[in-house]
A and B are shown apart, each in its own frame.
Chain A
Amino acid sequence: MSERRIDAVAKATGAAKYTADVVLEGTTFAAVKRSDLPSALIEEIDISPAKEVDGVLGVFTAKDLPGGANLYGRRVFDVPILADGRVRRVGDPIAAVVATSREIAEAAAELIEVTYKELTTVATAREAIQPDSPLIHDRPWEYAGAVVTPDSGRNIQSVDSHGSREAAESALRNAVHVIDETYFTPGDHQGYIEPQACIADYHADGSLNVWNTNKSPYRLRDVLSSVFGLDPKKVEIMPTVLGGDFGGKGSPGDAPLCTALSILVGRPVKMVLRYSDDLLSTDGRHSSEIRVRLGIDASGKLVGGIAEALLDGGAYAGFKPVNTVNLHGIVDAAIAYRIPEFFVESKIVYTNNQPKGHMRAPGSPQAAFAFESALDELGRRSGIGPIKIRELNLLSDGDVNPYGSVWLEYRGKEVLSLAMSQPKSVDVPEGWLHGEGVAIYARSMAAVPKTSLRLRRGENGKVIAEVPIPENGAGGQTVVREMIRTGLGISADKIEVNQVSTSLLPTDAGVGGSRVSLGVTVAVANAIKLWKEMPADQEVVEITTDEGSDGPSGAYSAQLARVAVDPMTGQLKVLELISAVDVAEIVNPKAHQMQIDGGAVMGFGFAVMEDLLEEGGQPWALSMGEFKLPNVADIPKLTTALLRGGKGVGPNNIKAVGELTNCPTGAAIANAVEDATGVRIRRLPIRAETIYWGMKEGSAK
């Protein structure tokens, strides 16, 4: 009972304070005039009607930004705080209004008139790489942090690759059976229910306090101090509770804009996005076009493979945080299989669509859909069968994976057989077609991120843990509490876990990449060790852990989807999703299970529902009326089977779980649809209509 999650009561009673709930004395409110066009030069901005509105304190455009600072980003600084002469997507912020209330600011922003000179829109990634495509950015290699050069090609944000194309081509030429198909996935949004929000409070002494829906406070601090030339010691990112993240809240969000506005008006500035603006102006999942070629020999063994991904990065590259400015999930597409010659290339390009960033296992849902669909197709077309082809080619202990590393263990075959052996419990509706499909996903979890942490004596024998990370829902703070509880042998009510501001701890890498538990466990284990050795008169222990690595190891999941299809309409019902998950020790069983279930539901949404409907440079799904997320009546029955006894990493012997079950779902369901109907789906989300026409075509043959 006392082991329930640490934040449960505060959240259930409405007491937990999220960014939008923070009220500062003298707060002002910002709203933004956004671009109506995907690609245009700004000829004139008439802010005068907005300035005249009662309650408006100021209206600002790019030329007003303090110190001329404008560009920001997570790695590449190519995102303008306010558009400077040009807009590159619908929703680009052009002017900002600060007013005494949110409603006044929003109404005044609508009065701002912008005169544009329209430019040609580059609406798809395919268009962007044509030799005559207009340039979205004239000289992208000049942005701070850019990984491209003038020779990279038109509109390229980044290219990442692995393996030898020549060797893989040659291997494919010698294969007995080859599959060569292209798969498509749509732009998606993280779908957190809490829209992004920010309060920036700049003071005359050069200090800045920021409350932001952001999961990487230390990185945010560095970005803000770099953009505005502030002393990092005077930039303080304040603790907050995150109302969902899924990767979307790693971006600085509107913190650069609110900071600029607070400097300009000398008061705290708050901006809470309307959800329609969140759908329009944040950093969702890249849409993808992935061509997969796989070849097998006569025995069914993979001899070579090539995966070429073209991803729509949208108008800016600045929301991708990693050094490659790419998505490692794409390059890792073949990580579960033995393929002697595998070449993968991930090309991300600029377009006039919404900029894209990280969303739960960046690149992996797209890559897993393409790769696990192609492998399934190859299994079926060659006559070997979709299960057998996986069994034949999943890595076994001692194997070198396509990336040259040897993991402590490979559990692909075990998770597959575990998923296959689960009892099936949902009946097929009478007269509907039935099918089953599987898909497998694995991810590496070698990296241990840097973090820091403090334990402090409280009153009445309490232990207070001060942590640098916000709680995004995954349960990181409960993991800290549980480790202290078991490590020190004290009861849960004697432990407090508090996030503290960036001024009070040295460092952290931020929440994400399924690594919270891992980084935290290393730090907590070290802190507990010190705490036990601490002299009686000492009050505090503080730990800083550096980046490190463990393993090399990884975690697996296999999903089996059971579907029913109405033969008259093509309606698809996913009856059941069985997830077999590779685990070692589990620190917090309930939170662990919710990561599995929540991931499976998110994978289900990606497979059959979610789509930003980007067309012609305009996202059309601009409210939750159009951008549908799975509700509790929509979802299939969820079954989990844990494959215990794995070799984990870190002091608690754990495996990452947060990004395991949302990745294989698209392919598992698509594979089941072919099993049921003979119709192969190569584009997500899967629509009843596609199945319907596919069945018509099939029966006409």
Chain B
Amino acid sequence: MQSTETEFLVPTSVSEALESISKEDAIFLGGGTSTALLYKTRLIEPSRVVWLGNVGELKGIFASDGEVKIGSMTTAAEIAANRDIARLLPGVCTASGVIGNARVRAMATLGGALAHADPRQDMPPALIAVGAEVSVKSSLSTRRIPLAEFYEGFLETVLDPDELITEVTIPLVANRRSAYIRYTPTSEGDYPTVGAGSSVTFGSDGKIIEAASVVLCGVGSVPIISNQASQLLVGTTGDDAALRRAAEAVREIVEPQDDERGSAAYKREMASIFAFRSLKSCLGS
């Protein structure tokens, strides 16, 4: 029972959606998997809900020469099943296919997931590792934020309440390989103890690493990005010794906490091991 009935709006365009959000306590609703839970347990009581399910321009996956754009209302299942994603962004494909269960994947949207900002989510490390940027609109402004700079804390992002994620853009880079790997030692249906997204970009000779990225979930209040690991990889051939040094660097920067998915000490060890395995998987062996 809520005290007054929540207003439920169903806009059909982004501009209509942005106008609708002006009211205080109004929230955007994507797939609703998280919002419905928060609402039914009375943790949120919005006066107005702006459901984006009928905004067609927020849906779809578009691959061009230089980039892939994913609309914010695209579901995890749609991303996982998309052939362009599978071919161009294998890490993103893997991450979107392992979230929760088939029902969650059918409902959960990319924009909703990013805005929810649970640091155990699989998608953010996979996306950050390939340089994803988030396009955000409000009725007054438009901005594009690197996903690497999007998270501020547990369930906290840089978004203002009237801002809407419209799409995520992933640049396509020649000679880049990417991967995502998760570790769920108890049940496949669990959040990961640690998840590791990574990418490695070779120079034009195809031998020397020019750029790299290692990003982890489950081991901090936000996705953890290891710049040092990247630096340690650049200039190497991606041999095991280099990967091991990079993985070792990850150990130093993660900020895990004890919980039923593992002690902080164990998660720290696993972060390093799965960073290594993710990189190894990037390199195709």
Check whether chain A touches chain B (CB < 8 angstroms). Answer: yes
Residues of A within 8 A of B (CB): 53, 55, 101, 103-104, 106-108, 110, 568-572, 608-609, 611, 613, 620-621, 626, 628, 630-631, 633-634, 685, 687-689, 692-693
Instruction: Name the contact of B1 in the complex, choosing from A104, A572, A634, A693 (C-beta under 8 A).
Output: A104
* Inter-subunit contact A110/B188 (CB<8 Å): no
Bound-complex Cα distance A628 to B100 (A): 13
Known: A613-B260, A626-B260. A569 touches B187 (CB 8 A): no
* Inter-subunit contact B270/A634 (CB<8 Å): no
Considering only CB atoms, which chain A residue lies closest to B263 in the complex? A689
Known: A572-B185, A609-B186, A626-B260. A692 touches B42 (CB 8 A): no
* Inter-subunit contact B260/A611 (CB<8 Å): yes
Bound-complex Cα distance A24 to B260 (A): 42
Give the dominant DSSP class at A's interface: loop
Give the dominant DSSP class at B's interface: loop
Bound-complex Cα distance A110 to B189 (A): 31
* Inter-subunit contact B260/A103 (CB<8 Å): no
Which chain B residues border A626 with CB–CB below 8 Å?
260
* Inter-subunit contact A628/B185 (CB<8 Å): no
* Inter-subunit contact B260/A620 (CB<8 Å): yes
Instruction: Name the contact of A608 in the complex, choosing from B186, B260, B263, B266 (C-beta under 8 A).
Output: B186
User: Does B146 have its Cβ within 8 Å of any Cβ on chain A?
Assistant: no
* Inter-subunit contact A628/B190 (CB<8 Å): yes
| Interface residues as binary, B23-46 with A (CB distance below 8 Å gives 1, 0 otherwise) | 000000000000000000010000
Instruction: Name the contact of B266 in the complex, choosing from A609, A634, A689 (C-beta under 8 A).
Output: A689
Within 8 A of A (CB), among B39-83: 42
Nearest first, the 6 closest Cβ-Cβ pairs linking A and B are A688-B185, A107-B1, A689-B266, A628-B187, A103-B1, A104-B1
Instruction: Name the contact of B185 in the complex, choosing from A106, A613, A687 (C-beta under 8 A).
Output: A687
24 contacts between A and B (CB under 8 A): A53-B1, A55-B1, A103-B1, A106-B1, A107-B42, A569-B185, A569-B270, A569-B273, A570-B185, A571-B183, A571-B185, A608-B186, A611-B260, A626-B260, A628-B187, A631-B188, A633-B188, A634-B187, A687-B186, A689-B185, A689-B262, A689-B263, A692-B266, A692-B269
Within 8 A of A (CB), among B239-283: 260, 262-263, 266, 269-270, 273
Closest CB-CB distance, B184 to chain A, in whole Å?
9
Q: Give the total of B residues in contact with A, Cβ under 8 Å.
A: 17
Bound-complex Cα distance A570 to B186 (A): 11
Bound-complex Cα distance A631 to B190 (A): 10
Considering only CB atoms, which chain B residue lies closest to A605 in the complex? B187
Which chain B residues border A568 with CB–CB below 8 Å?
273
| Interface residues as binary, B155-191 with A (CB distance below 8 Å gives 1, 0 otherwise) | 0000000000000000000000000000101111110
Closest CB-CB distance, B42 to chain A, in whole Å?
7
Which chain A residues border B190 with CB–CB below 8 Å?
628
Given A106-B1, A568-B273, A571-B183, 8 extra CB contacts under 8 A: A55-B1, A108-B1, A571-B185, A611-B260, A613-B260, A628-B189, A630-B187, A634-B188
Which chain A residues border B185 with CB–CB below 8 Å?
569-572, 687-689
Considering only CB atoms, which chain A residue lies closest to B101 in the complex? A631
Closest CB-CB distance, B260 to chain A, in whole Å?
6
Instruction: Name the contact of B187 in the complex, choosing from A110, A572, A609, A693 (C-beta under 8 A).
Output: A609
Which chain A residues border B266 with CB–CB below 8 Å?
689, 692-693
